[in-house]
Amino acid sequence: MTDTPTAPADGRGLRDRIAAELERTRARTTLLTEAVDDGELMRQHSPLMSPLVWDLAHVGNQEELWLVRDVGGREPVRCDIDELYDAFKQPRRDRPALPLLPPAEARAYLATVRDKVYDLLDRIAFDNRRLVADGFAFGMIVQHEQQHDETMLATHQLRSGPAALHAPPPPEPATRAAGEVLVPAGPFVMGTDTDPWALDNERPAHRVDLPAYLIDAAPVTNGAYREFIADGGYDEPRWWSGPGWRHRQEAGLSAPMHWRRDGDGWAYRRFGRWTAVRDDEPVVHVCFHEAQAYAAWAGRRLPTEAEWEKAARWDPATGRSRRYPWGDDEPTAAHANLGQRHLWPAPVGAYPAGASPLGVHQLVGDVWEWTSTTFRGYPGFAAFPYREYSEVFFGAEYQVLRGGSFGTDRAACRGTFRNWDYPVRRQIFSGFRCARDADAEQAHP
């Protein structure tokens, strides 16, 4: 059993592809940081987030560290600012007080670094040094910038004041996506050895044997979640874990973040505008504890990370694990709600072309999905190229999320991609789906 083979790209094709990805990514960063004025860029909109201008220069600094200095062996552009933009040396809450580069200086710094990277890209030989083979370091930097673009989008969602971002609404449902799907018992390949831009925590590929289970055909919707609220779910300790209930009490949780009562119903503030909560959209801005409590109330549970990945990648016809639910092809606008094309989740049933062979919808895009698994290395994990990307976060403190949201770029998500966060966090674009064990009859039809 192997995972998806990927054809090696030749030098020219790879160079062009990297240049295109760098450019596309920078256009997104530019849009997110030109949508508001300098005051808004410098301000901290939530203690959970950096000022946007910190993310901006941090993106340039990582690009300088890995591509200009490490891969390129060039002289530093600015070594005086490394400390300021080191996420481990500067806790988020302290970042607004730092002597940060003002927006114009940050933009000039990014442009200087990027010019050097294009120069490097023109000359580099993609030999088999691990950092440069298949353009890995460039892919890592593209993904890093895209990850910060999603973080900056979450910061925009936390801003008060009038809307600064605009996008067309997501597509309407084209099919029914409801109920559960049975995933039969048996082994599948989890993780990857062959995806050239997969990050260290997605490796190595390994066999996982799972008993049969049922998983929701679509993420849990606002309509379903409203029933949990209406049934008093937030006031019933028996649905919550011990730590979940403590957090619910301390934080005073009573509905997803950004919701407020509106007559008999609910409204949801997204990017500066209040809109009625739409029942057929996946619920977003819930923490792991809320997801877990909902699942208990519904007589279900959250899927494990392996269950999520098998539902997303396993092809029953061949037994092979594919890159995405729909196959190995890169996501297009028909497959999934990704890339900030739309600013909220699409109603369930909006992406029939993105469903898995077993009929599981919207696994990729729309909302990150909480799983019941804590973040650990796979058997045989080796940190690469730095421990601070993944390894320092391994342990029971972080829950894994899968699939990517409407705010995630296609370069930074795939069937193997792993995200993680604290179980109390909900400023990210997080939702969930439920699962349960198959009963004996369903498991052996």
Chain residues binding ligand AVJ by CB under 6 A are 144, 147-148, 151, 389, 419-420
> Can you tell me the distance from the alpha carbon of 327 to that of 310, in angstroms, rounded to the nearest whole number?
13
Residue 421 labelled as part of a binding site: yes
Least Å from the CB of residue 7 to ligand AVJ: 27
Residue 94 labelled as part of a binding site: yes
Instruction: Report H helices in 211-344.
Output: 222-230, 242-251, 288-297, 305-313
Residue 114 labelled as part of a binding site: no
Joined together, the tokens standing for residue 294 give 């909902």
Q: 154 or 360: whose CB is closer to ligand AVJ?
A: 154
Q: 191 or 349: whose CB is closer to ligand AVJ?
A: 191
Q: How does 178-189 read in b/e, with b if 16+ C-beta sit within 10 Å?
A: eebbebbeeebb
> Can you tell me the distance from the alpha carbon of 392 to that of 20, in angstroms, rounded to the nearest whole number?
32
> Can you tell me the distance from the alpha carbon of 237 to that of 343, in angstroms, rounded to the nearest whole number?
34
Q: 52 or 355: whose CB is closer to ligand AVJ?
A: 52
Residue 92 labelled as part of a binding site: yes
Distance (Å) of CA 168 to CA 171, 341, 345, 411: 9, 7, 12, 22
Instruction: Report H helices in 161-259.
Output: 222-230, 242-251
Q: Which has the closest alpha carbon to 280: 369, 170, 403, 405?
A: 170
Residue 342 labelled as part of a binding site: no
Residue 425 labelled as part of a binding site: yes
Least Å from the CB of residue 85 to ligand AVJ: 11
| Neighbour count for residue 80 (Cβ, 10 Å) | 7
Least Å from the CB of residue 140 to ligand AVJ: 10
Least Å from the CB of residue 389 to ligand AVJ: 6
Least Å from the CB of residue 436 to ligand AVJ: 28
Q: 361 or 418: whose CB is closer to ligand AVJ?
A: 418
Q: 214 or 413: whose CB is closer to ligand AVJ?
A: 413
Contacts of 279 (CB under 8 A, 6+ apart): 221, 222, 223, 226
Q: Which has the closest alpha carbon to 311: 325, 323, 299, 301?
A: 325
Residue 261, judged by CB atoms within 10 A of its CB (0-12, 13-18, 19+), counts as exposed
Q: 90 or 147: whose CB is closer to ligand AVJ?
A: 147
Residue 86, judged by CB atoms within 10 A of its CB (0-12, 13-18, 19+), counts as middle
Q: 321 or 419: whose CB is closer to ligand AVJ?
A: 419
Please state the φ and ψ torsions of residue 186, each to the nearest 5 degrees: 140, 170
Least Å from the CB of residue 147 to ligand AVJ: 4
Residue 58 labelled as part of a binding site: yes
User: Which single residue brings its beta carbon nearest to ligand AVJ?
Assistant: 147
Residue 258 labelled as part of a binding site: no
Q: 226 or 285: whose CB is closer to ligand AVJ?
A: 285
> Can you tell me the distance from the alpha carbon of 399 to that of 425, in angstroms, rounded to the nearest whole number?
10
Q: Is 261 helix (H, G, I), strand (E, B) or coil?
A: strand
Least Å from the CB of residue 424 to ligand AVJ: 15
Cite the annotated binding site for Fe cation by residue number: 58, 144, 148
* Annotated binding residues: 58, 92-95, 144, 148, 421, 425
Residue ranges for the known binding site for gamma-L-glutamyl-L-cysteine are: 92-95, 421, 425
